[in-house]
Every structure is written in C-alpha cells, then in structure tokens.
Amino acid sequence: MKEQEQQLIDALAEMREDEALALAKTMLDRGDNPVRVLELCREAMDIVGKRFEKQEYFLPELVLAGEMLETIGALAKPLIVQSAGGEAKKLGRVLVGTVHGDLHDIGKNIVTFMLDINGYEVRDIGIDVPVKKFLDEIREFKPAVVALSGFLTLAFDSMKETVQAIEKEGLREGMKIMIGGGQVDDAVRSYTGADAYGSNAVAAVTLCRQWIPAAA
Amino acid sequence: MSAAASAPGEAAAAHAARLKRVNDAIALRQPDHVPVIYHTQFWHARMAGMNYRRAMYDYQALMDTCRDVLLDLQPDMYASPMRPALGPTLDAVGYKQLEWPGHGTSDDAMFQYLDREYMKADEYKEFLFDPSGFFLSKYLPRIGTAFEGLENLPSIPNLYYGRMFGVLSKFADPKVVAALDALRKAGEESARLGACMGAFADEMDKLGFPQSQGVACSSPYDYFGDQFRGSKGILLDMYRRKDELLAALEKAAVFITQHTVASALNHPCKMIFIPIHWAMDSFMSLAQFKTFFWPPFRKVLLGLIEAGLTPVAFWESTCTTRLEVIADIPRGKAIYWFEGTDMLRAKEVLGDVACIRGNVPASMLNTGRPEEVDAYCRMLIEKVGKGGGFILDGACGIPDEARPENVKAMFASVRKYAA
C-alpha cells in the first residue's frame, strides 16, 4: 500500500476530517482509481466499526465517519467508469425501519450504518413505517433479517402488530426478526414475538452474523 | 375511589406526612416508608378510555381522570397532568418542533419531538454575541408561526436616544403587529392553562397530594442538542466546532440557571425536573461526557441548589459509567432518577450523595405480571431503599400503555415492604 493510501485510512479512522478530505481530493484529482479510494474508505470504516464495538468510539465518531464517507463518495462515484470492478459482495439483506407511531431515528440510523460497514446490504425504510409498508418491502427486497426499531413504549404494540402481520402473511419462513431501541428488552421481545432483541448497534451486527452464514 | 377524599384535617395531615417522607428521602434520611411518585404522560387519560387528541385538548377531562387515579393509587407526590403546553397552546403558537394529534400524528398517537436543525452550524457566532437578538430574528420564527414577523423588530441595543426614535416605526410594521397579536392570543391561552394548573394543584393539595415538580429545565448539552442543533448537528460540532460549542454550553448554563431560578420563585413546588437525553453510556465516551456534558450541567445543578431548589435529574437510558462523575454535587440536595442505570451500583456510588429514584422497567409495567412488579419493587425497596435516600417510580414513570394491575402492584409495594 502506498504511503498516502495509509495516510487516508489513518486520517479517516482518527477523525481528522480536513486531512482525510484533502487527501481523498488530491488522489482523485490526480487520477487515482476512484474504486480504490472507496476501498480505502471501507477499510477505514472497518476500523471505526471495530472501535465502536470496543467502546472506544461512540455516536460522534460514527456520525462524523458517515459524513466523511458521504463526502468522499460524492466526489468518487461520478468518476467510476462503469463495470470497473463492481461493489464488494454483500453478506445478506437486512430491512430496517422504525415501527408506526414512532418518529425516532437515531438508533435505527446507527444500526443501518453499522450493518452497512460490516458488509450487509441494508434497506432503511425510515420512521413511522406502517405495517403494510413492511410487508410490501419484505416481498420486494426479500431480506434475511428484518430489524424493527422503536424508542417509545407505544412501539411495543406496533412491533407486535408488525411481527404478527409478517407471520400471518406467511412471510416469516426462513427470515429472522430482531427488535431494538429505547426500552426494548427480553420481556418486549417475548411480547412482540420477535426472534431476538438487541440493546445496541453492535448487538444488531452480532445477531446478523449468527443468522446469516458468512459463506452464503 | 379510596378513602383519601376525607376530612380536611386528615388530608392536611396526609399532605404533611407525604412531604416529610419525600424530604427525608432527599436528605438521605430513612422515611417511615419508601415514597412513591406518580409521573406519567397520559396514563390516567388512557385508562379512562380517552384518546390522545382529547387528552391534549380537554383540560377538564384530563384533570378529572388524573384526580381519580391519584385518589386510587395514593402516591406521595404527583407530576401535574397539565403540561406547560397542551393542544390549544401549541395551536396558538403554531409550534413547529412537535407533532401532535391532528398536527402530524393520529388522534391515537402521542405527541413527538422533531429532531431537526433549528440553528445552523455557522450561526454560533451570532448566538454567542447576542442570544436574545438571535432568538428574535432567527430562532423563534423557525419554531412557531406566531413568532413569524418578529424578525422585523429593530435590534434591541439600537433602542437608545435618537436611534430609538429613528427605528420606532418598526413596531408598527404589519408583520410585527400580526406577530404580537398572535402571541397575545397564545399568551391568553397559556394563562388559561396556567389557571387550570394552579386550580388543580390547589385541589390536590386539599386532598393531601403535593406536586413532585415545579418548573422544568434542561442540561446545557440537551438544550443545545435538542432545541438548536439537532442530534446530528451537535454530534458533528463536537469535532468541527468544539470551541464554539463549549462557549455556547457555558453561556447556556448561566441563563438556564437564571431563568429556572426566576420561574421557580413563583411556583409552590421547589423541585426542578430535568429530563436528560444525551448523557447515556452509549452516546458519548466518558472523556466526552466529562468535557461537553458534565461541567456546564454541574454549574446548573449547583446554581439551582444554591437558590434553595431541588434538582430532579432524570438520567434517561443507562448512565452507569457516569456515576462516579455525577457524584460531585453537595450531599442530600438532589434527586437522581435513573431509567436503565444499574440501581445497585448507583446506590453504592451515590448512596451518600443523592436520593435515587426509579426504576420499574417499562417493559415489565406494560407486558409483565403483578407478581413480577411486586418482586422487582421489593428488591428496590430493600436494597436501594436501605438506609433511606430512595423514591420508587417507573423507569420512565408510568408508560401510557402500562397494565393497571401492574401499576397498582407498584404503588402497593411501598406499604408492603420495609427498607
């Protein structure tokens, strides 16, 4: 690896935003392969994710990492020549959304980010998602895992309703459902009929690793 | 309905006994039994079959349902059902930071806060130079339609001698006049709500129930994160605009304290409710907590305590790693209410510092059985209540969906078990 490539990874992983963006811009301006620049970003995000798992990094770092990634992505993506190598293979599909009645999205966004940088193909369908929208998206996206998020206590019932509808429509076979957010614990998991709950974004990644075999 | 609606003498004695019980707990003395507080959003209204729209618009119906619940549960204190803003006031202000029934949410959904950027990143300088000017010209018109037009007011420090006369006509600007008229109407509605609040408090006093909170305030970090920059904005500012953010938090600590002390003067209850959203273990590192969150918040706490007020800091989610840091306040002067924090660890670290309150899980109250609630409360009373300094409550009060038999089990437990 070239010295500057390592510098880019370090700057991103160490949250030195100005340096990271300047380096990426220099590399892209002089004609470095944009796919390679994005690969370096992915490596840096891998470090960020691991530090988050080890509780060395928290939300400020995840949000800033996401911003840096987005800025570099916006510079690099238009430069990518079609069929230049393609995206890395994704591990499996995860559908994420905040259940109906609840407008909170911080937890959901962090779960989406962590699953994404850990190699999953994540579709985030937003907040206050009606049951029908979950059903439609499951039919269309065919996820291996559905993640229901909710912060308010009213979300317990919305989650239960969503899980029941998924089951009733015959969509649960071969798919796992996890819940998380706010006050969700094992009692809520049992109440809603979900397969598992996670108390943070790292738990969401761990559950997906258990449920989706890496070799698939 | 229970026997609490009894003779005035008995009610007055019950009132005094309840106040003493809570005050003993705050002062870290052992009360005759562990006190229990009734704090909820709309549980009483939901139990009476009322939807959220009616609960937010029909003051009298809301008060009636709360009275029934207080008489039934017999708490030592209660948080008023009359929030500072209910439907009619929100309508009058044209409030943009919340969604509520009929305004973004259905009749059967709770009001919710909209996490957005209400102050832009490049506006710190303006805020820091002149917060009042920033409020009038930028912030207020962004958060309520009634304030739209105030941006046409003259700059306040410009109102002196000849300059003042030169800009006086701005007070006759049609947009300013319309804003002031809309605010007058909002003010009248707010006064009507305030009168109901006062009347309800008086009535409950006569029935023997003191209030558990007077005015509320925020920690400086929450104030800035929730109300100004939004969650994403403030998290990025911790890296991109650290000095400006720290200066703004420092400034906010001063005026939050001043305003809270001034408002509390007119309120009979001297307990100040401070819901805390951003302190939790999983949101920022301990080093960041010690840099951004705690120092300005500690200033607010000390300022309130110095003014003879009792801060009731509600540490949402899990704040177990923060316990040693937040122990740095005067002894026996504050309540720390915990949601998911390890209560036994809290007792160990804070037992000699602050009165601990909490924390029957929402999941247990909503989905569990009364026996589980009873066993959990017993554990709290015997272990966290040992030696005094404990108030029983739900982890986040009584959730609106809590099962009545579970709530009853929680309130009955303080009379069944001894600390």
- DSSP for B77-98, please give it: EE--SS-S--HHHHHHHTBSSE
Residue B212 has pLDDT above 80, yes or no: yes
Q: How confident is the model at residue B187 (pLDDT cuts 50, 70, 90)?
A: very high
Q: What is the pLDDT averaged over residues B38-55?
A: 96
% of chain B surpassing 90 pLDDT: 95
Write the DSSP symbol of residue B155: P
Residue B14 has pLDDT above 60, yes or no: yes
Tokens of B366: 């909503």
From chain A, the residues in CB contact with B114 under 8 A are: 103
Q: How confident is the model at residue B6 (pLDDT cuts 50, 70, 90)?
A: low
3-state helix, strand, coil in chain B (%, to 5): 60, 10, 30
C-alpha to C-alpha distance for A148 and A99, rounded to whole angstroms: 6
Which residue among A15, A56, A156 sits closest to B401, beta carbon to beta carbon?
A: A156
Residue B168 pLDDT: 95
Nearest to B78 by CA among B261, B218, B260, B201: B201
Please give the distance of CA B327 from its chain centroid, rounded to a whole number. Answer: 21
Residue A166 pLDDT: 97
Residue B110 pLDDT: 87
Contact B364 A200 (CB under 8 A): no
From chain A, the residues in CB contact with B366 under 8 A are: 153, 156, 188, 191
From chain A, the residues in CB contact with B115 under 8 A are: 104-106
Contact B110 A60 (CB under 8 A): no
Write the DSSP symbol of residue B360: E
| Chain A interface test: which of B224, B281, B282, B342 (most A C-beta within 10 Å) | B282
Q: Cβ(A184)–Cβ(A194) under 8 Å? A: no
- Rounded to a whole number of angstroms, the distance from the CA of A84 to the nearest CA of chain B is 34
Q: Which ipTM did the prediction report?
A: 0.92
**B130-169: pLDDT as tens digits:** 999 999 999 999 999 999 999 999 999 999 999 999 999 9
Residue B7 pLDDT: 76
Q: How confident is the model at residue A88 (pLDDT cuts 50, 70, 90)?
A: low
From chain B, the residues in CB contact with A101 under 8 A are: 105-106, 109-110
Please give the distance of CA A189 from its chain centroid, rounded to a whole number. Answer: 21
Q: How confident is the model at residue A81 (pLDDT cuts 50, 70, 90)?
A: confident
Residue B163 pLDDT: 94
Q: What is the pLDDT averaged over residues A127-153?
A: 95
Report all structural domains of chain A as residue ranges with CATH numbers, in order of start: 3-79 (1.10.1240.10), 93-211 (3.40.50.280)
Residue A66 has pLDDT above 60, yes or no: yes
C-alpha to C-alpha distance for A50 and A36, rounded to whole angstroms: 21
Residue A85 pLDDT: 53
Q: In what order do the strands lie in the sheet with B355-360?
A: B271-276, B310-315, B335-338, B355-360, B390-394
Q: How confident is the model at residue B3 (pLDDT cuts 50, 70, 90)?
A: very low
- Rounded to a whole number of angstroms, the distance from the CA of B378 to the nearest CA of chain A is 19
Q: How confident is the model at residue A82 (pLDDT cuts 50, 70, 90)?
A: low
Residue B322 has pLDDT above 60, yes or no: yes
Q: Does A17 touch chain B (CB under 8 A)?
A: yes
Q: What is the pLDDT averaged over residues B289-310?
A: 98
Q: Cβ(A149)–Cβ(A99) under 8 Å? A: yes
Q: Cβ(B313)–Cβ(B337) under 8 Å? A: yes
Tokens 């039919």 map to which residue? A139
- Rounded to a whole number of angstroms, the distance from the CA of B201 to the nearest CA of chain A is 28
From chain A, the residues in CB contact with B229 under 8 A are: none
Q: Does B99 touch chain A (CB under 8 A)?
A: yes
Residue A117 pLDDT: 86
| Chain B interface test: which of A58, A62, A104, A163 (most B C-beta within 10 Å) | A58
C-alpha to C-alpha distance for A37 and A136, rounded to whole angstroms: 36
Tokens of A16: 């030195």
Residues near B133 by beta carbon (within 8 Å), at least 6 away in sequence? B126, B155, B156, B157
Q: How confident is the model at residue B382 (pLDDT cuts 50, 70, 90)?
A: very high
Contact B363 A101 (CB under 8 A): no
Q: Does B246 touch chain A (CB under 8 A)?
A: no
DSSP codes joined into one string, B240-308: HSHHHHHHHHHHHHHHHHHHHHHHHHT-S--EEEEEESS--TTTS-HHHIIIIIHHHHHHHHHHHHHTT
Residue A216 pLDDT: 43
Residue A90 has pLDDT above 90, yes or no: no
* pLDDT, mean over chain B: 96
Contact A153 B401 (CB under 8 A): yes
Contact A56 B363 (CB under 8 A): no
Residue B2 pLDDT: 43
Residue A213 pLDDT: 82
Q: What is the pLDDT averaged over residues A193-200?
A: 94
Packed helices A34-53 and A106-117: angle between N→C axes, nearest 10 degrees: 120
Residue B230 pLDDT: 96
Contact B285 A187 (CB under 8 A): no
Contact A17 B110 (CB under 8 A): no
Backbone angles phi, psi at A120, to 5 degrees: -95, 150
Q: What is the pLDDT averaged over residues A121-140?
A: 96
Q: How confident is the model at residue A86 (pLDDT cuts 50, 70, 90)?
A: low
Give the three-state DSSP class for B355: strand
Tokens 């038999």 map to which residue? B405
